[in-house]
């Protein structure tokens, strides 16, 4: 039974404030969760409540969200069984009463929602992934490691936001992580040798200035091979273009020119011919539905097309995407929708339609590792949580190592089966 809820303002990986919540039960167990925060946020995301008081953290304080928890949520939830996740989440949605959680703030609601789950898991004596996923949760996701950062996550001139490596050929998660770390270190020396910057972006990947986006893939490919892995079989590529960031009035400003959705689509076809890419996220902008449907019908048989800003983990938008075949996979970010219950609903809906789900961090993260457990609990088969470096990113990968260890012989690494469409 929930006895106490405490909320506070803490710092995220970019040094910006975010919400942390602790839920205490009458048996003495405490669940703690912290809320992540995006930079290239979608327009249709649930509202992240910021104070707007320029004298504190440049307006980014979250004291209002903390106060909303203390003043408007706590009293309403005392006495609930922590295992009543759906009732608790629904209660908070009722108190909020808006579509975008702008009354209480999605950061307020999500912090409580996740902390409740963690308290309930602890109280039941189960790991979070088992508590949420049941005895059959056993699939370790492919780590989609973002080792070269551009777009809104870096100060470089590179348009594409994320260049990821996916070690699909590894036998276990542990081996996958190792290969990613080895490629990461090799990429650093490749960049250094060429006189390119080895400074880092927000998600721990390198952030050099480069002449074109495909140069990034060439450099990573070189690092993969130098590290002793086979490009296309051991390790493949994935992109997050985050195209909403460079879209306006029907035009994509990309690689120094103006492109239509059709021209972007042609560009992707060329990339797929040249590189072993299994997945492209946000290839087009968040409201360019027709462009998405066109792209998915032309390349979606070959690879995964992932909606992030397009779907914002929102079951209503995912339902539209399924009806219009606008993509074939969903990026899952708990703070885009703002509660654990709705995150489960989004993933269920996607899976039932044959869409893949990639669990995801935000560019602003904390030491919280909840998404690692969620990826296994929900059977996602894929997780992206940045480079295999920097503790805000590595904390999640490390948690997956622990989960793999706990599952022992029952663990199965998703590997290539996470990308059944992939044809090089």
Strands laid side by side in the 30-34 sheet: 2-11, 17-25, 30-34
304 binds, among ligand PGA, Zn ion, none (CB under 5 to 8 A by kind): none
- Cβ-proximal residues to 335 (8 Å cutoff; 6+ apart), any chain: 35, 36, 37, 38, 45, 46, 48, 106, 107, 110, 362
Instruction: Please list, residue by residue across 248-265, b when 16 or more beta carbons sit within 10 angstroms of its beta carbon and e when fewer do.
Output: eeeebebbeeebebeebb
Find out whether 382 and 415 touch, Cβ atoms under 8 Å: no
Regarding 363 and contact with ligand PGA (CB under 6 A), the answer is: yes
Regarding 308 and contact with Zn ion (CB under 5 A), the answer is: yes
Regarding 22 and contact with Zn ion (CB under 5 A), the answer is: no
- Cβ-proximal residues to 281 (8 Å cutoff; 6+ apart), any chain: 162, 238, 239, 240, 241, 242, 306, 307, 308, 331, 358
Q: Is 333 part of the annotated catalytic residue set?
A: yes
The alpha-carbon radius of gyration of the chain (Å, integer) is 21
240 is in an annotated binding site: yes
Q: Is 3 part of the annotated catalytic residue set?
A: no
If the CB atoms of residues 73 and 331 are measured against ligand PGA, the closer one turns out to be 331
What would the x/- binding string for Zn ion be over residues 44 to 83, using CB under 5 A?
A: ----------------------------------------
CB of 22 to Zn ion, least distance (A): 30
If the CB atoms of residues 32 and 362 are measured against ligand PGA, the closer one turns out to be 362
If the CB atoms of residues 281 and 365 are measured against Zn ion, the closer one turns out to be 281
**Looking up tokens 């979608």, which residue turns up?**
42
Angstrom distance (rounded) from CA 314 to CA 338: 10
Residue least distant from ligand PGA (Cβ): 38
Regarding 393 and contact with ligand PGA (CB under 6 A), the answer is: no
270 is in an annotated binding site: no
Angstrom distance (rounded) from CA 270 to CA 71: 55
Kindly report the CA angle at 333 between 330 and 336, in degrees rounded to 5? 105
Which residue among 18, 40, 186, 313 contacts ligand PGA (CB under 6 A)?
40
Regarding 159 and contact with Zn ion (CB under 5 A), the answer is: no
Instruction: Select which of 48, 203, 245, 286 is catalytic.
Output: 203
> Which tokens is 285 given?
């902008």
Site for ligand PGA in 394-413 (CB under 6 A): none
Which residue among 240, 286, 342, 368 contacts Zn ion (CB under 5 A)?
240
Regarding 304 and contact with ligand PGA (CB under 6 A), the answer is: no
309 is in an annotated binding site: no
CB of 281 to ligand PGA, least distance (A): 6
333 is in an annotated binding site: yes
Angstrom distance (rounded) from CA 105 to CA 210: 39
Regarding 279 and contact with ligand PGA (CB under 6 A), the answer is: no
Q: Which helix (H) or strand (E) holds 6?
A: strand 2-11
- Cβ-proximal residues to 138 (8 Å cutoff; 6+ apart), any chain: 376, 407, 410, 411, 412
CA distances from 15 to 172, 318, 364, 412 (A): 34, 32, 9, 36
Torsion, Cα of 371, 372, 373, 378 (10° steps): 80
Find out whether 70 and 11 touch, Cβ atoms under 8 Å: no
176 binds, among Zn ion, ligand PGA, none (CB under 5 to 8 A by kind): none
Regarding 242 and contact with ligand PGA (CB under 6 A), the answer is: yes
Instruction: Select which of 122, 333, 356, 396 is catalytic.
Output: 333
DSSP, collapsed to helix, strand or coil, labels residue 196 as coil
54 is in an annotated binding site: no
Angstrom distance (rounded) from CA 308 to CA 361: 12
Tell me the number of residues near ligand PGA by CB under 6 A. Answer: 11
55 is in an annotated binding site: no
101 is in an annotated binding site: no
Which residue among 17, 31, 38, 315 contacts ligand PGA (CB under 6 A)?
38
Angstrom distance (rounded) from CA 61 to CA 380: 33
CB of 36 to ligand PGA, least distance (A): 7
Which window, 22-30, 46-54, 321-329, 355-363, contacts ligand PGA (CB under 6 A)? 355-363
96 is in an annotated binding site: no
C-alpha neighbours within 13 Å on the C-beta side of residue 151: 27
Site for Zn ion in 216-235 (CB under 5 A): none
Q: Which helix (H) or strand (E) holds 277?
A: strand 277-281
If the CB atoms of residues 41 and 186 are measured against ligand PGA, the closer one turns out to be 41
If the CB atoms of residues 148 and 196 are measured against Zn ion, the closer one turns out to be 148
Catalytically active residues are 203, 333
The residue ranges that bind Zn ion (CB under 5 A) are 240, 281, 308
Binding residues for Mg(2+): 240, 281, 308
- Contact positions toward ligand PGA, by CB under 6 A? 38-41, 161, 240, 242, 308, 360, 362-363
Residue numbering of the annotated binding site: 161, 240, 281, 308, 333, 362-363, 384
């Amino acid at each position: 039974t929930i006895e106490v809820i405490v909320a506070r303002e803490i710092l995220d990986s970019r040094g910006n404030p975010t919400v942390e919540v602790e839920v205490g039960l009458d048996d003495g167990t405490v669940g703690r969760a912290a809320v992540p925060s995006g930079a290239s946020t979608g327009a249709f995301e649930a509202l992240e409540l910021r104070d707007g008081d320029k004298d504190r953290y440049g307006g980014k304080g979250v004291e209002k969200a903390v106060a909303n928890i203390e003043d408007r949520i706590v009293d309403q939830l005392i006495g609930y069984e922590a295992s009543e996740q759906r009732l608790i989440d629904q209660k908070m949605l009722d108190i909020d009463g808006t579509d975008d959680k702008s009354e209480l703030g999605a950061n307020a609601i999500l912090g409580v929602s996740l902390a409740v789950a963690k308290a309930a898991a602890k109280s039941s004596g189960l790991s979070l992934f088992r508590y949420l996923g049941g005895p059959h949760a056993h699939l370790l996701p492919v780590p989609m490691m973002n080792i070269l950062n551009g777009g809104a996550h870096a100060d470089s001139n590179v348009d594409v936001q994320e260049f990821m490596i996916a070690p699909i050929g590894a036998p276990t998660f542990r081996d996958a992580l190792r290969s990613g770390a080895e490629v990461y270190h090799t990429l650093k020396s490749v960049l250094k040798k060429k006189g390119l910057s080895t400074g880092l972006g927000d998600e721990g990947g390198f952030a050099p200035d480069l002449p074109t986006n495909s140069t990034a893939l060439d450099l990573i490919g070189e690092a993969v091979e130098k590290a002793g892995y086979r490009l296309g079989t051991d390790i493949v590529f994935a992109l997050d273009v985050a195209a909403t960031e460079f879209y306006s009035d029907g035009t994509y400003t990309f690689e120094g020119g103006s492109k239509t959705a059709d021209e972007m689509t042609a560009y992707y076809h060329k990339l797929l011919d040249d590189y072993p890419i299994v997945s492209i996220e946000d290839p087009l902008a968040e409201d360019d539905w027709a462009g998405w449907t066109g792209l998915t019908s032309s390349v979606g048989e070959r690879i995964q097309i992932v909606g992030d800003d397009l779907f914002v983990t929102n079951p209503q938008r995912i339902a539209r995407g399924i009806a219009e075949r606008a993509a074939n996979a969903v990026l899952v970010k708990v703070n885009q929708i703002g509660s654990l219950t709705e995150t489960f609903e989004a993933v269920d809906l996607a899976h039932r339609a044959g869409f893949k789900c990639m669990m995801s961090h935000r560019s602003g993260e904390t030491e919280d590792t909840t998404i690692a457990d969620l990826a296994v609990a929900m059977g996602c088969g894929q997780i992206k949580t940045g480079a295999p470096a920097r503790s805000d990113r590595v904390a999640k990968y490390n948690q997956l190592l622990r989960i793999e260890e706990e599952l022992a012989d029952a663990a199965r690494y998703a590997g290539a089966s996470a990308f059944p469409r992939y044809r090089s």
